[in-house]
Structure 1
Amino acid sequence: MPIRRICEVADCSFFTIDKNHRLVSFKVEAQNELDSFLIKSPSIGDLAVEIIAQKYRKNFQSLLIRCFGGHSFSIVQRFGIENTGDILLQIIFTPLFKAGQADQVLCTLINESDHSGSLKMLGEYSHLTSHELRAPITNILSLSTLANYQQLESFEVAKINQLLNDINLQALKLDGIIKMLNSMMHKPENEDLFTALSEKTDTNHIVLVDDDVITNRLHQMLIRKHYTEKKIALFNDPQIALGYIKEHQPDLILLDLHMPEIDGWKFLHMMEEHQIFIDVIIVSSSIDPREKLRAKSFMCVKDFFVKPLTAEKVKQLLED
């Protein structure tokens, strides 16, 4: 589990709690620092509230129930430690989803005095929310627009539309939570990093480079729905895509960032090494502003779009 890996790397304690409020897994660092919060050493199968000090049980139980409802919480509690003074303990409740429902809750405890461990954990957590969680959600958001396509006209469109609408609402809710969590790690952007970088040129031949086959097909369908005359080439292998680009010199490349073996950053460096000067639009699930800033350092990158592509984004891409 990626979140457990993060907690094991960072200097913090954590408890994974199931729907019956029992411990599934845990790790406790510096037990003596938690003595004011925990009344005993935990064991697998323990009721979570039974290891918590009596004065904190009611609030802990309330937050745990709300977290199983899909909400995330972060609170800071001051504890007095004998002979060492007070410590500030950050307690984070995070729902872990399975099949669209909160299946478990991760309770993480971080000693605020340990800034290096906290920052490392928060950085990796930011990457987790930006990529591993958002990637499948962007596909759900894209799939929810399929009712626009003619292929569905022979089916019961009303029922399909209702189903897709339900999927879209849930995806938007999850996406909003993830964006909120990510915004806690970074300052909001104050300006558009890609304003007026280049003059508008005709875009008739487009190459899509993304290791996710579904994403490529969805983007192809979306572009062709509004621009049937465009020539579109799809590649889930960046190395093969580079060979095609060298030979055919397309007008525009839509490039994903996080791909195995050859990621988007390496692909951009390979383009520079081969002296390929073709406009690139980054299309990524990432909402990390540091990656948008890094993308701006490449002369060929003209914009950075966050997945999923929409009709409005495609129009901006090909017309505005």
Structure 2
Amino acid sequence: MPIRRNCEAADCSFFIIDKNYQLVSFKIEAQNNLDSFLLKTPSIGDFAVEIITQKYRKNFQGLLIRCFSGYSFSIAQRFAIENTREQLLQVVFTPLVKAGVADQVLCTLVNDNDHSGSVKMLGEYSHLTSHELRAPITNILSLSTLSNYPQLESFEVAKINQLLGDINLQAVKLDGIIKMLNAMMHKQEHETVFTEMNEKADTNHIVLVDDDIITNRLHQMLIRKHYNEKKIALFNEPEIALGYIKEHQPDLILLDLHMPEIDGWKFLQMMEEHEVFIDVIIVSSSIDPRERLRAKSFMCVKDFYVKPLTSEKVKQLLED
């Protein structure tokens, strides 16, 4: 199990607990000073709750039960250890899911005095996913159910606009949380500078390649709102798009990255193999800096835009 190997390589203690609350694997690091937390030295097959000191047993058991329901937790517990300064121990509960069900629980214990950075990040990540992330998602699900808004049956424009505004507000919150999670996992990097686009009299013929038909149509509507004269071809199948591009030689390609079968990376490789030298703008939901850096390795890629496209981005793209 990769998680187990990672834990074994890390400088921390851990327990893997099955549905019967028995230990199936564990590792104890001496420097973690767990004497105040553990009642005895554990053995495979022990009931996890019974090895925990009575003082912390009830709380541990409650969190373990909830973790088997699919929740993640990170708690900090301070211990007064004899002949040492006060110790802060981080206890992290993570469900290990198999076939959509929490099959085991990974309980990681780390002395936060020595590992504050990584453990705090894990705790913050767990809190954001379990609490902050779920709130706007549930709100969006509720708002998108029109049956909750009987007053909209008359299709009043003002009411519909209000509903769309509410949905947008929750989506903005959700997007902000996702960006926070991504920033926690990646160090801040300098903005990747792409090469300038090929010199052309105008960008009149644009090809959109995205497996999401709705996204293609939304981007088409946005471009035509400001540039109605543009010729725009939509493709949700990359292979067909490449055939069209080879034959018609458009001025610009807007390309999604994460598509089934032929993803954006493979599509760029196919363009190079067929010696198709047309400017490409990546338009992706990804905010992973590694993907932005990878995109820069393709000479035809001139920029990387994060979805959704906006009027400002479209003007910058087609006017600058």
Question: What TM bracket, shorter-length normalisation?
Answer: 0.5 to 0.7
| Shift in alpha-carbon separation, 1:193–1:91, aligned structure 2, 3 A | farther
Partner secondary structure for residue 239 of structure 1: helix
| Shift in alpha-carbon separation, 1:110–1:210, aligned structure 2, 3 A | farther
Letter in 1 for 2:167: I
Q: Name the structure 1 match of 2:162.
A: 162
Distance 1:312 1:93 in 2: 44
Q: Deviations over 1:3-45 (max 9, x none)?
A: xx98688547689xxxxxxx9x9997417678966888469xx
Q: CA deviation at 1:166?
A: 1.3
Distance 1:249 1:73 in 2: 54
Q: Name the structure 2 match of 1:317.
A: 317
Q: Across the two proteins, how many residue pairs are aligned to each other?
A: 255
Q: Name the structure 2 match of 1:251.
A: 251
Q: CA deviation at 1:73?
A: 7.8
Q: After the TM superposition, which residues 1-320 of structure 1 pair with which residues of structure 2 at under 5 Å, given as runs? A: 11=7, 29-30=25-26, 41=47, 54-55=55-56, 91=91, 109-110=107-108, 155-194=155-194, 196=196, 199=199, 201-320=201-320
Q: Deviations over 1:215-257 (max 9, x none)?
A: 1111111111111111111111111111010011111101111
Answer yes or no: is the 8 Å Cα contact 1:223–1:314 preserved in 2.
yes
Distance 1:233 1:297 in 2: 26
Q: What is the TM-score of this pair, normalised by structure 1?
A: 0.61
Answer yes or no: is the 8 Å Cα contact 2:23–2:47 preserved in 1.
no
Quote the sequence identity (%). 71
| Shift in alpha-carbon separation, 1:54–1:192, aligned structure 2, 3 A | same
Distance 2:35 2:216 in 1: 52
| Shift in alpha-carbon separation, 1:30–1:318, aligned structure 2, 3 A | same
Distance 1:26 1:224 in 2: 62
Aligned Cα RMSD in Å? Answer: 4.9
Gaps of 5+ in 2: 8-13, 40-45, 82-86, 95-101, 145-153
Q: CA deviation at 1:109?
A: 4.2
Report 1 or 2 for greater relative contact order, CA contacts < 8 Å, sequence distance ≥ 6: 1
Answer yes or no: is the 8 Å Cα contact 2:219–2:309 preserved in 1.
yes
| Shift in alpha-carbon separation, 1:112–1:42, aligned structure 2, 3 A | closer
Letter in 2 for 1:30: F
Q: CA deviation at 1:54?
A: 3.9
Q: Deviations over 1:114-140 (max 9, x none)?
A: x9xx99xx9xx9xxx9xxx9xxx9xx8
Q: What is the TM-score of this pair, normalised by structure 2?
A: 0.61
| Shift in alpha-carbon separation, 1:197–1:223, aligned structure 2, 3 A | closer
Q: CA deviation at 1:200?
A: 6.4
Answer yes or no: is the 8 Å Cα contact 1:7–1:14 preserved in 2.
no
Letter in 1 for 2:179: K
Distance 2:262 2:204 in 1: 26
| Shift in alpha-carbon separation, 1:163–1:318, aligned structure 2, 3 A | same
Q: CA deviation at 1:110?
A: 3.9
Answer yes or no: is the 8 Å Cα contact 1:246–1:276 preserved in 2.
yes
Distance 2:204 2:22 in 1: 55
| Shift in alpha-carbon separation, 1:26–1:268, aligned structure 2, 3 A | farther
Gaps of 5+ in 1: 16-22, 44-50, 82-86, 95-103, 145-153
Distance 2:266 2:204 in 1: 26
Distance 2:23 2:311 in 1: 47
Q: CA deviation at 1:193?
A: 2.0
Q: CA deviation at 1:295?
A: 0.5
Q: CA deviation at 1:90?
A: 5.2
Distance 1:111 1:201 in 2: 63
Letter in 2 for 1:207: V
Q: CA deviation at 1:80?
A: 10
